[in-house]
């Protein structure tokens, strides 16, 4: 059957060019006679794969030399524990901005290991906006400030980073990684689960400033100690080799289309098409304040649960899948990550227009 338009929030669609390359190399990577899935992570062949992937990522993000790039396991959720264990190592105070479920979970996990406080929150309006903060919003002696850059469930994003002064800023960028340029030097660490915009589930990419390493709490499990992973070049144990390989193909694809400036332009075009329709529709409406809207995740609703369900059902039959909103929010959500073509958003809007005419 023909491929559908997959609006899943993750695991999500990958560029068709990447999938086709992976399929062609599935049983024989570059004349080795073996698949990457069968390859030793200690081999010179895999060393080429992981080193090339790291360099391409450095090129895309223009990562400064004093940052380490790590390819890790455990999902973004494992980092909820690893971050305080590695970085709450001075006053043992950490300030969190709560902008959705994932920031809330990270904050809750950090409370097991340090004095974590919620410096700001948008829970009062169902996380439909990014709370405004100033430098005074944070404890001056906090070891770090933590944000979730793009909130997958609620469809908000930081268009301007919080001013944390000299306090290290750490960000979960899982659902906006590589969607646009990002000044890595503004952060002490950024990390992201790959399954939303970069690769299959099972890989986390972390970019960490070197001076943050080597101060982990004694109770930190070895696998969660970033210094150990950095010293071993992400090869302390067998890494998620296939996912790293796919991530590397995605990096190559991004470079081939013009890098992060080009993909940002494409993402802005897609988002404008969908948001313009929602703003003009009499049936559908977005749920996020316009100034904080995400380019990646677009939640929307009608005024009827029955109509929401009908739309999701009919959309699936028409080849638009995974449009159901997160269970904690309801309604619909279109995740339009890098791999979603402009055509997919245009056709979705065509379908929504016809659905509104037929059911209005």
Largest CA distance in the chain: 63
Distance CA 96, CA 145 (A): 6
Residue 102 appears among annotated catalytic residues: yes
SS3 137: helix
- DSSP calls for 54-81: HHHHHHHHT--TTEEEEEE-SHHHHHHH
Of 29, 102, 242, 253, the active-site residue reads 102
Of 56, 68, 93, 196, the active-site residue reads 196
Q: Which residue has the tokens 């890790």?
A: 72
Distance CA 355, CA 360 (A): 8
Please report the beta strands in 152-294, taking only residues with DSSP state E, as ranges in sequence order: 156-157, 169-172, 189-193, 204-209, 285-286
The 10 Å CB-count burial string (b at 16+, else e) for 43-68 is: eeebeebbeebbebbbebbebeeebb
Name the burial class of residue 34, with classes exposed (0-12), middle (13-18) and buried (19+) by CB atoms within 10 angstroms of its CB: middle
Residue 29 appears among annotated catalytic residues: no
Of 172, 242, 270, 324, the active-site residue reads 172
Q: Is the dihedral of CA 349, 301, 319, 100 positive or negative?
A: positive
Residue 172 appears among annotated catalytic residues: yes
Q: 207's torsion region: left (phi>0), alpha (psi -120 to 50) or beta?
A: beta
Question: Which secondary-structure segment (H or E) carries 6?
Answer: strand 5-6
Q: Looking at the DSSP assignment, which residues form a beta bridge with residue 192?
A: 205
Residues forming the active site: 102, 172, 196
């Amino acid at each position: 059957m023909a491929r559908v338009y997959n609006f899943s929030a993750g695991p999500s669609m990958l560029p068709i060019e990447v999938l086709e390359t992976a399929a062609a190399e599935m049983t024989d990577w570059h004349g080795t006679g073996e698949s990457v899935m069968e390859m030793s992570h200690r081999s010179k062949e895999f060393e080429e794969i992981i080193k090339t992937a790291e360099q391409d990522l450095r090129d895309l993000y223009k990562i400064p030399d004093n940052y380490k790039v790590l390819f890790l396991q455990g999902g973004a959720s494992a980092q909820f524990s690893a971050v305080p264990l590695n970085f709450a190592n001075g006053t043992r105070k950490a300030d969190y901005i709560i902008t959705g479920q994932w920031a809330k979970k990270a904050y809750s996990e950090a409370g097991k290991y340090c004095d974590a406080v919620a410096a700001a929150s948008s829970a009062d309006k169902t996380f439909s906006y990014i709370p405004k903060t100033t430098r005074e919003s944070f404890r001056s002696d906090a070891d770090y400030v933590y944000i979730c850059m793009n909130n997958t469930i609620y469809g908000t994003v930081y268009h301007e980073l919080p001013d944390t002064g000299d306090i290290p800023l750490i960000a979960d960028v899982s659902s906006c990684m590589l969607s646009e340029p990002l000044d890595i030097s503004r952060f002490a660490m950024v990390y992201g689960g790959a399954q939303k915009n970069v690769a299959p589930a099972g890989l986390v990419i972390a970019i960490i400033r070197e001076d943050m390493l080597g101060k982990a709490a004694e109770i930190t499990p070895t696998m969660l100690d970033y210094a150990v992973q950095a010293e071993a070049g992400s090869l302390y144990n067998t890494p998620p080799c296939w996912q790293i390989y796919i991530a590397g193909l995605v990096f190559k694809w991004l470079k081939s289309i013009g890098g992060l400036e080009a993909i940002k332009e494409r993402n802005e075009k897609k988002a404008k098409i969908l948001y313009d329709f929602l703003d003009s529709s009499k049936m559908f409406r977005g749920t996020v304040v316009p100034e904080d809207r995400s380019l990646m995740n677009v939640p929307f609703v009608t005024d009827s649960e029955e109509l929401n369900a009908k739309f999701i059902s009919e959309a699936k039959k028409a080849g638009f899948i995974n449009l159901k909103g997160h269970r904690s929010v309801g309604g619909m959500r279109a995740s339009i990550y890098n791999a979603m073509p402009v055509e997919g958003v245009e056709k979705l809007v065509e379908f929504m227009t016809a659905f509104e005419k037929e059911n209005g």
